[in-house]
Chains A and B, each alone.
Chain A
Amino acid sequence: MATEHAPTASEYIVHHLTFLTNQKQVGLVDWSVLHLDTLFFSIGLGLLAVFIMARLAARATSGVPGRFQAAVEIVIEMVADQAKGIVHSPKSREFVAPLALTVFVWIFLMNAMDLVPVDLLPRAGEAAGIPYMRVVATADLNATLGMSLAVLLLCLYYSVKIKGFGGWMHELFTAPFGAHPLLWPINFAMQMIEYVAKTVSHGMRLFGNMYAGELIFMLIALMSAAWVGTLGSGLLWIGGVIAGTIWAIFHILIITLQAFIFMMLTLVYVGQAHESH
C-alpha cells in the first residue's frame, strides 16, 4: 500500500471499526440507526445455518449417517445433553434446546468470520462501492446485546409461565434474603441487579472477545502492511505472517469457546428461570 494516499495506522483502524449505517449515528444511543453490515452478515449466516441444517434434517436417516449428518448429530447431541442437564422441564426444552443449537451454530459462524482475512471483504466491498464493512457481527455490541436481551425475555417468559405471575412477583420481593417486609426493597433491588448483570455480561462477554480478536487481527494486518522493501519492514512482514498464523489458530479455539459459553449461559439462565428460590 505504498501509494500516496496510504492511510495512517489510526485511519486504517478507525475505517475498519466503522459500521455501514443507513444514516449517521447521533450520540451514544440512536434508535433510528441500523448497522447494515451487521444485519447482512448475521441474518445471512443465520439463514445459511438454519437452511443447511433444515435441508439435512429433511433427509436425515436413522440408518447409517453420512459424514455431514454425523457431524451435525454430534453438535445436536451435545446441545441436547447440555439442555437436558440444565433445563429440567421437557416442555420448555422443546423450544430451549433448539434455541441453544441455533445460538451455538449461529454465533460460531458469525465468530468464524473473524478468520476471513480482515481486508478481504471490506476491500471487495469498497471495489463495489460500499465504503464501510465490518464482517464480524458478534463484534457489534448491538448484535450480542440483542441476543442477550432475547434470552432475558425468555427468562421472564418462563419465570411467569412456570411460577405464575404471582409466584414470580413473590420471588422478586422475598428472594434472596427473606420474606420480611423490610427486606422487600433490598430483595427487589438485588433481583433487578441480577437480571441486568446477567444480561449485560452475557452480551458484553461475547462482544468483548470478538471485538478484541478483530482488533488484534487488524494490528497484525498493519504489521504486514508495513512492507516497503527495506530489511526492517521485511522482518515486520514475516512477523505479521507468524503472528497472524498463531492468532488465527488460537482464535479457532476462541470462536468455538465463546459460542459454547453463550449457549451454556443461555441454557443456565433459562434453567434458573425454572427454579424457585
Chain B
Amino acid sequence: MNLNATLFAQLVVFLILAWFTMKFVWPPIMKALDERAKKIADGLSAADKAKSELALTEKKVVDELKKARESATELRAGAEKQGVALVEEARQEAARIIAQARQAAEAEAGVAAQRAKEALREQVAVLAVAGAERILRKEINAQVHADLLANLKQELK
C-alpha cells in the first residue's frame, strides 16, 4: 500500500472530469429531460381539455337532439290539429252541400210534382170532356163550355 503522487494526479483528474461533466454533460441532458417533462405535461393537459370539451359537446348534442325532438313533436301535434280541423271543415262543407242539394232537389221535386199535377189536371179535363162527349155523343163546344171546364179544373185541384 504505497502512497505516492498518483494520489494527487487522481485528485486533479477527478475535479477536472467533474468540471467537464458539469459544463458539457449535465445541462443539455437535464434540459432535454425538463423539456420532455413539460411536453408530457402539456400533452396531458391538452388531453384533459379535449376530454372536457368532448363532454361539453356531447351534452350540447344531447340538448340539440332533445330540442329537435320537442319541436318535431310540436310540429306533428300542430299538423294533426290542422288536419283534424281541415277534415272537420270539409265534413261541414260536405254536409252543407248535401243539405243544399237536398233542398234544391226537394224544391225541384215539388215543382215537378206541381207541374205533373198541372199536366194531369189538364189531361183530366180533356179526359172528362172526352168522356162527357162520349156520354153525350155529342160534341161539346169547348169555347162555350170553357167556364164549365174551368170550374171542373178548379174542383179537381
The interface of chain A, by Cβ under 8 A from chain B, is 19, 21, 25, 28-35, 38-39, 42-43, 46-47, 49-50, 53-54, 56-58, 60-63, 65, 69, 72-73, 76-77, 80, 94-95, 97-99, 101-103, 106, 140-143, 145-147, 149-150, 153
The binding surface of chain B is classed by DSSP as helix
**Contacts of A143 on B, CB cut-off 8 Å?**
6-7, 10
Q: How far is the CA of A94 from the CA of B11 in the complex (A)?
A: 20
Instruction: Pick out which of these stretches binds chain A: B32-40, B49-57, B60-68, B123-131.
Output: B32-40
Contacts of B35 in A (CB 8 A): 62
Query: A34 — which chain B residues lie within 8 A by C-beta?
Result: 4-6, 9
Q: Of B1, B14, B27, B29, which one neighbours A150 at CB under 8 angstroms?
A: B14
Q: Which of B17-25, B93-101, B146-154 contacts A (4 or more CB under 8 A)?
A: B17-25
List the interface of chain B (C-beta within 8 A of A).
Answer: 1-11, 13-15, 17-22, 24-36, 39
Q: Are B4's CB and A32's CB within 8 A?
A: yes
Inter-subunit contact A50/B20 (CB<8 Å):
yes
Are A62 and B39 neighbours in the complex by a CB distance under 8 Å? yes
Whether A33 contacts B5 in the complex (CB less than 8 A), given A101-B26, A150-B11, comes out as yes
Contact of A147 among B5, B14, B31 (CB under 8 A): B14
Contact of A97 with B13 in the complex, beta carbons under 8 Å? no
Q: Given the complex of chains A and B, what is the CA–CA distance between A98 and B24 in angstroms?
A: 10
B10 and A146 contact, CB distance less than 8 A: yes
Residues A73 and B22 in contact, CB atoms below 8 Å apart: no
- In the assembled complex, which residues on chain B have CB atoms less than 8 Å from the CB atom of A60? 28-29, 31-32
B147 to chain A, nearest CB (A): 135
- Nearest Cβ in chain A — how far from B36, in angstroms? 4
Q: How far apart are the CA atoms of A260 and B58 in the complex, in Å?
A: 54
- Chain A residues contacting B27 (CB-CB under 8 Å) are 57
